[in-house]
Structure 1
Amino acid sequence: MDLSLARLRMLRELHRRGTITAAATALHYTASAVSQQLAQLERDVGTRLFERRGRRVQLTDLGVLLADHAEEILAAVERATQALEEAGESVTAKLTAGVWASVASGLLPEALTALARTHPNILVRSQELAPEATAAAVRDGALDLSFVLDYSNYPMTWDAGLERAIIAVERLYAAVPAGAVPSASVTLAELSEHPWILAPARSHFGHAARLAFQSAGLTPRIDHAVEEQSTAMAMVAAGLGVTLVSDLGLALRPPGVDIVALGDILTRTVSLAYRTNTARRAALLLVVDAVRTAAAAKGLGADAALLSAPEPPAVPPPSPNPLGANPGLGLR
């Protein structure tokens, strides 16, 4: 009997999640591909592992038995991989990291370039996911490590099976149309009557922003709900509203946007999450160190959490807004 590790991983996810669609989503495959591979697994073992219950697929008793063994097999493979990495003369490994736009553009290039110079046999692949989904993907084995977020007013619920290393602390700033805010800093109260462009409430970013307004007794007018900071700032440049942007997001700022210090101090902590049973994996720790170094070079190390003065970083002067600043955004 020849058991494929990839098919065993699919079986494990089906057992954990209950549906082929959910298993496929967790593993970043199509449902059709997972269904075909599970059918092949059934042929490989020569016995029924699944049965249909209406439109759902359910594991048979033998399917559950094999899924339980799959957990042990995959864990053993992970331990063996770690042992081989540590036994070699140089660290050799392939890791997959979960990222989102601002860390992919603002931290990863410098970190991986530096890592390649000192440890060329460590290959790091990246997978872009919503920040809210990355920790679960690490826990379930789809990723080796992933960036995760905590906001100062909205810490995430932590999984006991995961550990994390703090990488950076970002402050949030107001991003406004060029010339709309003449002062060096601004408060949420001063901006609350103007149109806002924010991440959806279901996201960590969007929820943290709404909590900040709520804590200040404010109800903002949210005209546009968009996922990415780059998209939000493009809309700001067009004069459609104001938004919040993090330190790493500043690199994505288009012409026509001013960055203004926010009087209401709001920070977010960027960490790397990894499974507890891989916490001593040499290659993983080297990646963590490389990313930490890249963050420190940008002035975003963990010590940034102790800073209190919300001064915006130096950024190039913005070009005039080609569409003109929205006069309704002028502060009163």
Structure 2
Amino acid sequence: MLRELHRRGTVTAAATALHYTASAVSQQLAQLERDVGAKLFERLGRRVQLTDLGVLLADHAEEILGSVERATLALEEASESISVRLTAGVWASVASGLLPTALTALAATHPGIEVRTRELAPEDTAGAVRDGALDLSFVIDYANYPMPWDPGLERAVIAVERLYAAVPAGAVPAASVTLPELADHPWILPGSRSHFGHAARLACQSSGFEPRINHEVEEQSTALAMVAAGLGVTLVSDLGLALRPPGIDVVALGDALTRTVSVAYRTRSARRSALHLVIDAVRTAAAEKGLGAHEPMVLP
């Protein structure tokens, strides 16, 4: 919490990054100050600022947290059997499309590995890994919009998905459609600040038009339900097809769009065998669905 306060500047921002309430963070920081026996913070209006001693301790925070992680790794390596709990950041289509198969297979071969999940927006998961709130997370890179990358993280490619047009039943009679052919339809997309929403807008703009967005919704299942009701069109990925309700036609895109699904983890966690067993299980589940990543991803 001290590290995040130093990094982000406010208790509220630190609490948001760590998924705690601001009051919980304030209480823990006050306890830290009592434990240290020195003044670490001072109030400037509504803001909390680190004192010189607070900055000094914050400078050691990364080393302290790294030591804890290295100690955890040493214990795992010394143990004859793998027994560990990992927390993964997921979103809906990964949680429903890959994890049931992957975690069932993992439990059969390595019952000591417990994987807990936390659903976050795809654009937030990598930051939560970097900040230590998660051990690993699923991240997305669209072919036309790769995600900015943190040098303290590594990634393992899991799957390559295609994107399709999801349209009301009968709205597009052809077997495939191009994005310009959908220009006159109303669209249903997430906000432009979301990774998917921004990538979809870029794809439309590259095809020569600005999508007319009648409904801005964040959940893929909600967007698909609205498509089924005849309210517009959207894009859906291979894993998202599992969320498709009746009343929707899924049409191939003539101008193929793809996205890469990867697992992000901290560089200092790279030797954790439990982490790689989880990655292997998810990668196998993706391959069984025909979504295997045949080529290594080229990072921007």
Aligning the two structures, in what range does the TM-score lie when normalised by the shorter sequence?
over 0.9
Corresponding residue of 2:110: 119
Q: Say whether 1:99 aligns with 2:115.
A: no
Q: Is the 8 A contact 2:42 2:48 kept in 1?
A: yes
Partner of 1:234 in structure 2? Answer: 225
- Counterpart check, 1:176 vs 2:163: no
2:203 is aligned to 212
- Aligned amino acid, residue 8 of structure 2: R
Within 1, Cα distance between the matches of 2:134 and 2:206?
36
Match of 1:35 in 2: 26
CA–CA distance in 2 between the matches of 1:221 and 1:139? 36
Q: Distance in 1 between matches of 2:177 and 2:241?
A: 17
5+ residue gaps, structure 2, are: none
Deviation at 1:304, TM superposition (A): 8.5
What displacement does 1:305 show?
9.6
Equivalent residue, structure 2, for 1:253: 244
User: Structure 2 vs 1, CA of residues 304 and 181 (structure 1 numbering), >3 Å: closer, same or farther?
Assistant: farther
Please point out which of 71, 74, 86 is paired with 1:83: 74
1:174 Cα deviation after fit: 0.7
What does 1:153-302 align with in structure 2 at a 5 Å threshold? Answer: 153-302=144-293
| 1:201 CA drift (Å) | 1.1
Contact 1:170 1:304 in 2 (8 A): no
Post-superposition offset of 1:68: 2.2
Quote the sequence identity (%): 82
Aligned to 1:314: none
For 1:272 and 1:112, the matched residues in 2 are separated by 15
Equivalent position SS for 2:287: helix
Distance 1:70 1:206 in 2: 36
1:204 CA drift (Å): 1.2
Alpha-carbon shift at residue 249 of structure 1 (Å): 0.3
d(CA) in 2 for partners of 1:83, 1:187: 53
Q: Partners in 2 of 1:119 and 1:157 — Cα distance?
A: 34
CA contact (8 A) 1:169 1:305 kept: no
Unaligned stretches of 5+ in structure 1?
1-9, 307-332
Code of the aligned partner of 1:223: N
- Quote the offset at 1:219 in angstroms: 2.1
Aligned residues: 297
Any idea what SS the aligned residue of 1:102 has?
helix
TM-superposed CA distance for 1:303, in Å, is 2.7
Q: Are 2:93 and 1:68 equivalent residues in the alignment?
A: no
Measured in 2, the distance between the counterparts of 1:22 and 1:45 equals 23
Q: Secondary structure at the match of 2:294?
A: helix
Supply the distance in 1 between the matched residues of 2:150 and 2:29 (Cα, whole angstroms): 29
Distance 1:128 1:55 in 2: 31
SS of 2:232 mapped into structure 1: coil
User: What amino acid sits opposite 1:85 in the alignment?
Assistant: E
The whole-number CA distance in structure 2 between the counterparts of 1:251 and 1:173 is: 13
Q: What amino acid is the match of 1:181?
A: V
Partner of 1:54: 45
2:136 pairs, out of 138, 145, 164, with 145
- 8 Å Cα contact 1:176-1:259 kept in structure 2: yes
Name the TM-score, length of structure 1 as normaliser.
Answer: 0.87
Structure 2 counterpart of 1:141, one-letter code: G
The whole-number CA distance in structure 2 between the counterparts of 1:254 and 1:263 is: 23
| Equivalent residue letter for 2:220 | Q
1:130 aligned partner, one-letter code: A
Deviates more, 1:231-240 or 1:35-44: 35-44
1:139 positional shift: 1.2
**1:131 match:** 122
Is the CA contact 2:157–2:296 (under 8 Å) kept in the aligned structure 1? no
Letter of the 1:48 partner, please give it: K
1:20 to 11, 14, 19: 11
Q: Aligned equivalents of 2:94 and 2:141: distance in 1?
A: 14
Kept after mapping to 2: 8 A contact 1:96/1:125: yes
